Amino acid sequence: MVNCCGLVSEKNQPVPLKSISVELQVRDHVASVSSCLQYVNEEERPLEAVFVFPLPADAAVCHFSARIGEQEIVAEVQDKQSARDQYDDAVSSGQQAFLLEESEESSDVFKLSVGCLSPGQKASITIVYIIELSVQADDALRFCLPAVLNPRYTPAVSAAGVPEVSSASVIPYTLSLSVEVRSSDRISKLESSCPLDPLEFLDAQHTHAKVNLSSGHRFDKDVELFLYYENSHHPSAVVEAGASVAESGSLMGDPALMISLYPEFPADVMSSLASQGEFIFVVDRSGSMGCKMHHGNDAQMRIESARDTLLLLLKSLPMGCYFNIYGFGSRFESFFPQSVVYSEDTMEEALKRVKSMRADMGGTEILQPLKHIYSQPCYPDHPRQLFIFTDGEVWNTKEVLDLVKSHVYSHRCFSFGIGEGASTALITGMAREGSGHAQFITGTDRMQPKVMQSLRFALQPAVDNISVDWSVPEGVTVDMLSPSINTLFQGQRALIYAQIKGQSSGQTEGSVTLKYRLKDQPVTNQLQFTLKPAEDTGLTIHRLAARSVIRSLELQERAGGADMENIRRRIVELSVQAGVSSAHTAFIGVNKDSKQTVKGPLLQRRVPVARMMGAFGGPGMNKCVGMAPRMMRRSPMQCDIQSNRMRMECDSVSFKKGMAPRMMRRSPMPEAEPQKDPLLQLISLQKAAGCWELNASLAAVFGKTEDQVTNQKAVQVDGSVWATVLALIWLYAFKSDQQVEWQFVAMKSASWIRSQKPNGLSQCVCDGNALLGCQVTEDMLGI
């Protein structure tokens, strides 16, 4: 019987990875991450180790080296098949070799092969990547070091699979992390989801600081860092000198420019919300959604949190819009054949079906429901907004992103990664390609406030008509390297890359003018930049620019066409020139200076991989998931046949256990017990138009009887007006800390009260305050 950690050595000992040391260097909006992995071969024979691990989806891997004893091997970027052949030849002849390559299915999964370690031999592997730090809703810059790569469902029609990496709580290696921040802006604070040592400022201006992860971290969850600057909305332009050894006129030889655009939305724009739109909510109902949100005793199941969130969303939609809800797993279904007008009847029907949603639809296949949604015609004057909820366990990430991008002009896509290990490639990619916004719900985060933030983004005006104009002296030209930007929402930042070509004999500066429109108002920003940047700046911007170009070329290639071979050649050339990873290249290092070859039969070991408990039907499902030795070395990203068959059998078992026959599934399940959370209880009682009815259920939320509430009502005041005023007072008085969750509910209520034009409203508010023991004003209520 294979234990829960997957494959181990013949003596049931852990695989040879012993420790990970990470150095994070932040420069303004960009981070350089250096990870050092320490290995030791504890076998009695030579060993080949295979370690599959996650990296951020937009990372540019730019260095890979290995040190064995005093010998250091620095890998170089080569065509992937050539690198694989060279690795296989070296290992077969007894030479030490190292191979790092990107998954063919998902850009956030990498595989490291460590070949021919002699018995007792130690190896230190160093991987360096650079990445743009994402912006959060509160203006923080977020860095995440993933601890988990969830199992990814692979349907029977696919021969490929992505191996799993388990939570590190069962893996015998340690983590250390040091962080250094340098910025042109003053650093306000640095926070983390994990314990940190005190932040130490290294200068009086607070633009240079360092901090370490506290010792003893188990690496049983993602390490998240949140960095705050004082003037985060100021646009900036940074120029980086080219490499002196690179050819002039090439991307790496010429100066590269990075522009940061992070518009600030005025208060009047923030309060302006659209009343039209088509809102489609797409909810993962695969078996893994039956897992808990976090490891705490009070943690909800992911699907339970999704149901609560859908309640809030349905109550917050504006009257007259269109909506629909999809559930997906290894199949999909929608609440309505097509989107319907939001009304009291359609809302109530949807709520009844939300209560019966379970994590009972087998594996995770998001592609087919998306194709079905995009095949539906859009409604004129009702922009389509997709809200996609998933724990990120899909196998065909690149195909999904291509589909989203192909429909970018007909919709916006807001994505939510649920739980530890949600794929950054999938979640951020869907939002990026769909001109939306991505959110991650990890640890003890609650889903509802993050989703409601995104709903506000969807309802608010966006920055559009974005243009970039250059002013440079004669003899100098600027080539844009980034794809064009269509829209930006409140809380989004765009980084634009460009290549500066040619030279000017006189002027040493250029300028760029950024223009855009916000709520029909034109906005202009002009930035100056130098044409003579300082040398030796590390090529961070160049490599990120190269990564942007490579990703665009890869997208063109997957779209198909007559020029496929030329596109592939350009990808390989740019990847090799810039020294960054791509789908068609790999890092390869061979110790050709070793004085003796390694002899004896070669063992193959994988770092322990474990299926998340309950991911496909409960703990019992783990027993059938083991990883057999790799069958074909020349297809290193594919799962072996035996493992793939076992995975499909497990998913099939879960599908059969969790899925009722179609006739039974359509029958409504018994209604769930009323929500225990008073806030959700209150919201569940609201009508689609925004009002509440005066009844015993509402009174119970206030801790009163129906008679107590009714007897305090003035004679001339309508019962629904009185009930709605009381609900608003209760929200503002007792749930102000959760206002982001009920803000749209309250806005609908206030709008409904104003539409009724009731008499004696001021006295009604006074009576409500007296009944509930509050002091809330009419101005606070917005009525």
| pLDDT digits 0-9 by tens, 699-754 | 999 999 999 999 988 888 899 999 999 999 999 999 999 998 999 999 999 999 99
DSSP string, 616-650: TSSGGGGGG---PPPS-TTSTTSPPHHHHHHHHHH
* Residue 544 pLDDT > 70: yes
CA dist 615 and 261 (Å) reads 40
Looking at residue 17, what is its pLDDT?
Answer: 67
Query: To the nearest whole number, what is the mean pLDDT of the chain?
Result: 79
- Cβ contact 57:425 at 8 Å: yes
Paired residues of 76 in beta bridges: 588
Identify the CATH number of the domain defined by range 6-154+171-229+576-590: 2.60.40.1730
Looking at residue 597, what is its pLDDT?
Answer: 43
| pLDDT digits 0-9 by tens, 102-116 | 877 677 677 777 777
| pLDDT digits 0-9 by tens, 644-694 | 333 333 333 333 333 333 333 333 444 444 446 899 999 999 999 999 999
pLDDT > 90: what percent of the chain? Answer: 34
CA dist 492 and 141 (Å) reads 11
- Cβ contact 500:531 at 8 Å: yes
| pLDDT digits 0-9 by tens, 481-532 | 988 776 777 667 888 999 999 988 778 899 999 888 887 788 888 889 989 8
Q: Which residue has the higher pLDDT, 9 or 542?
A: 542
Looking at residue 511, what is its pLDDT?
Answer: 92
Q: Would the pTM of this model clear 0.85, i.e. be above it?
A: no
Q: Are strands 17-27 and 174-182 parallel, antiparallel or unpaired?
A: parallel
Looking at residue 599, what is its pLDDT?
Answer: 43
Q: Specify the amino acid at residue 25.
A: Q
The packing angle between helices 719-734 and 739-756, to 10°, is 150
Q: How many Å separate Cα 566 from the centre of its chain?
A: 32
Looking at residue 393, what is its pLDDT?
Answer: 63
Res. 536 pLDDT band, cuts 50 70 90: low
Please, where are the H alpha helices in 560-638? 564-578
| pLDDT digits 0-9 by tens, 217-235 | 666 677 889 999 988 777 8
CA dist 274 and 317 (Å) reads 10
- Cβ contact 401:429 at 8 Å: yes
Tokens representing residue 346 in the block: 């359609």
| pLDDT digits 0-9 by tens, 570-595 | 999 999 999 998 889 999 988 766 54
DSSP string, 671-732: PPPPPSSHHHHHHHT--TTS----SHHHHHHTT--HHHHHHTS-TTS-HHHHHHHHHHHHHH
Tokens representing residue 151 in the block: 């199992």
Highest mean pLDDT (candidates 169-178, 337-346, 393-402, 415-424) = 337-346
Residues in Cβ contact with 728 at an 8 Å cutoff, skipping those fewer than 6 apart: 746, 749, 750, 753, 776, 781, 783
Provide the terminal-to-terminal Cα distance of the chain, rounded to the nearest Å: 67
* Domain boundaries, given as residue ranges, for the chain: 6-154+171-229+576-590, 274-459, 685-781
CA dist 74 and 499 (Å) reads 28
* Residue 96 pLDDT > 50: yes
DSSP string, 45-96: S-EEEEEEEE--TT-EEEEEEEEETTEEEE-EEEEHHHHHHHHHHHHHTT--
Give long-range contacts, CB 8 A cutoff, 24+ apart: 346-353: 347/314, 347/315, 347/317, 347/688, 348/688, 350/314, 350/323, 350/325, 351/311, 351/314, 351/684, 352/668, 352/671, 353/325, 353/668
Looking at residue 757, what is its pLDDT?
Answer: 87
Looking at residue 9, what is its pLDDT?
Answer: 34
Instruction: Determine whether 386 is exposed, middle or buried from the number of CB atoms within 10 Å of its CB (0-12, 13-18, 19+).
Output: buried
- Cβ contact 60:539 at 8 Å: no
Res. 322 pLDDT band, cuts 50 70 90: very high
* Residue 622 pLDDT > 60: no
Looking at residue 28, what is its pLDDT?
Answer: 83
Encode 517-550: b = buried (16+ Cβ within 10 Å), e = exposed. Answer: ebeeeeeeeebebbbebeeebebbbbbbbbbbbb
* Residue 771 pLDDT > 90: yes
CA dist 101 and 84 (Å) reads 9
Tokens representing residue 618 in the block: 């409960």
CA dist 232 and 185 (Å) reads 8
Q: Which residue has the higher pLDDT, 51 or 259?
A: 259
Looking at residue 534, what is its pLDDT?
Answer: 76
Looking at residue 759, what is its pLDDT?
Answer: 85
* Beta sheet of 256-261, edge-to-edge order: 236-240, 256-261, 494-502, 476-480
DSSP string, 198-263: PPEE-STTS-EEEEEBPTT----S-EEEEEEETTTTS-EEEEEPPPTTSPTTSTTTS-EEEEEE-P
3-state secondary structure of 409: coil
Domain 274-459 has CATH 3.40.630.10: no
| pLDDT digits 0-9 by tens, 58-68 | 788 888 888 87
Looking at residue 690, what is its pLDDT?
Answer: 93
Looking at residue 144, what is its pLDDT?
Answer: 84
